[in-house]
């Protein structure tokens, strides 16, 4: 693959570059956000790996801008920040995964494989509209409505909703959601999944008498009709 690394710490950038090149990849490096943005827009890469704290343009802003120009380019964020708010901000910006420094290079390889496997998944035919009760997801326009009311969702909220609807009437554990929606292992030290469930619940259920998103204490969450 052709991979772009945006990292202002030269030692880390070169270590990751060397490791990825040993795996057979072609790797370019930028040391600030603006240089990374320029390279990402001028060339075709298969993957972007970026630190969050960067000179000139942050990794979060870089991710947002790249998402607008190249929505299919997978992005993995690297950072020393590991709080729930940091992860939510990164995922809201469109990141596919999030790796906290310091990390084992083997873990980075696992995350890369997971992200690319998701991107290169089988192209099975998809129904134009997914329905559950009075909820509808247009799989082509990615718009969501409930009883005809348009519901605005962030990209990660939409992915979470799609997964829950696809596996409706079944309890989903936090570990499963972390793996299938975020391509990551569930970190018991943060509650970002609960945060996103609450975001989604406020948008999907708040104004409706029939609730669709429910918590099963000690187990996880389930998407089903309950009064």
Q: Is residue 124 part of a domain?
A: no
Range of the domain at 217: 129-226
Q: Is 112 helix (H, G, I), strand (E, B) or coil?
A: helix
What CATH code is carried by the domain that includes residue 82?
3.40.50.2300
| Cβ neighbours of 47 (radius 10 Å) | 21
Give residue 123's pLDDT. 40
Confidence of residue 5 (pLDDT cuts 50, 70, 90): very high
CA–CA separation, 94 vs 66, rounded Å? 9
Q: 100 and 133 in one domain? A: no
Confidence of residue 10 (pLDDT cuts 50, 70, 90): very high
Burial class (CB in 10 A: 0-12, 13-18, 19+), 95: buried
Q: Which of 119, 141, 161 is the last residue of a domain?
A: 119
What CATH code is carried by the domain that includes residue 219?
1.10.10.10
Q: 102 and 146 in one domain? A: no
Least confident of 47-56, 68-77, 85-94, 184-193: 184-193
Q: Is residue 48 over pLDDT 50?
A: yes
Give residue 17's pLDDT. 93
Mean of the pLDDT values across residues 172-189?
Answer: 78
Return the higher-pLDDT residue of 125 and 19: 19
Q: Could you read off the pLDDT of 115-132 as tens digits, one per residue?
A: 887 776 544 444 678 888
Burial class (CB in 10 A: 0-12, 13-18, 19+), 68: exposed
Q: 111 and 150 in one domain? A: no
Pair of tokens at residue 137: 């997801």
Confidence of residue 140 (pLDDT cuts 50, 70, 90): confident
Query: Do residues 213 and 160 lie in contact, with contact meaning Cβ atoms separated by under 8 Å?
Result: no
Query: Do residues 183 and 189 lie in contact, with contact meaning Cβ atoms separated by under 8 Å?
Result: no
The number of domains in the chain is 2
Q: Which of 119, 143, 163 is the last residue of a domain?
A: 119
Q: 113 and 7 in one domain? A: yes
Q: Is residue 205 over pLDDT 80?
A: yes
Indicate the average pLDDT of the chain. Answer: 86
């Amino acid at each position: 693959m052709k991979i772009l690394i945006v990292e202002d710490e030269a030692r880390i950038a070169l270590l990751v570059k060397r490791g990825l090149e040993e795996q057979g990849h072609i790797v370019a490096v930028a040391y600030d956000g603006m240089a990374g943005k320029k390279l990402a827009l001028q060339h075709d890469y298969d993957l972007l790996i970026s630190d969050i704290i960067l000179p000139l343009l942050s990794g979060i802003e870089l991710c947002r801008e790249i998402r607008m120009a190249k929505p299919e380019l997978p992005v993995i964020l690297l950072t020393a920040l590991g709080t729930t708010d940091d992860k939510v901000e990164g995922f809201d910006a469109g990141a596919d995964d999030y790796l906290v420094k310091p990390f084992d290079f083997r873990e980075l390889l696992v995350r890369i494989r997971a992200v690319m496997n998701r991107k290169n998944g089988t192209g099975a035919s998809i129904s134009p509209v997914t329905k559950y009760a009075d909820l509808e997801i247009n799989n082509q326009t990615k718009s969501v409505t409930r009883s005809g009311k348009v519901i605005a969702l962030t990209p990660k909220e939409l992915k979470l909703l799609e997964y829950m609807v696809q596996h409706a009437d079944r309890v989903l554990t936090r570990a499963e959601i972390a793996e299938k929606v975020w391509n990551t292992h569930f970190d018991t030290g943060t509650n970002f999944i609960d945060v996103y469930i609450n975001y989604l619940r406020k948008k999907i259920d708040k104004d409706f008498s029939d609730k669709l998103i429910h918590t099963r204490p000690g187990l996880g969450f389930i998407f089903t009709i309950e009064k």
